[in-house]
Amino acid sequence: MLLSVFTSMYEVFIGANPDYPEYREGIFNAVGLMTLVVAIGMCLLFFVLLGRWKNIWYTRTHWTITLLLTAVIGFAFAYSQGKSQLSVADSYLIRFAAFNALYGAVYFAAFSLLFKNFSIYSKRIPF
């Protein structure tokens, strides 16, 4: 029930794919949940580990690089999951992977607002 939120989020922007019900049955939920976990993990890495370690991980550039890295991981994971389960790489899969990268970036930015208070040097990042 809770995982059906991911299906709704993807289908709002990229639409349903009636040719491949596997997206709705499992790919959307697995990829969405993993993207959320990766975004939380990257925030923990940036703010809790690196943000407390040395006084060099406190600029917006570092935060932006970490945001982009989260988006790239989201794109790669969505593409690889879709390709491995369906054995086809079409425009729907590319759109799905692109929106997953966007969701990963949005998750990272949102969780940054929560986790920045746990940092010593990165308290003023991203805003």
Q: Is 111 exposed, middle or buried (0-12, 13-18, 19+ CB in 10 A)?
A: buried
> Residue 57 sits in which domain range?
28-118
Q: Would you say residue 126 lies in a domain?
A: no
Query: Does residue 78 carry a pLDDT above 60?
Result: yes
Q: Would you say residue 107 lies in a domain?
A: yes
Q: Would you say residue 93 lies in a domain?
A: yes
pLDDT band at 3 (very low <50, low <70, confident <90, very high): low
Q: Would you say residue 127 lies in a domain?
A: no
Q: How many domains does the chain have?
A: 1
Q: Would you say residue 5 lies in a domain?
A: no
Q: Would you say residue 37 lies in a domain?
A: yes
Q: Would you say residue 102 lies in a domain?
A: yes
Percent pLDDT > 90 in the chain is 46
- Fill in the amino acid letter for 114: L
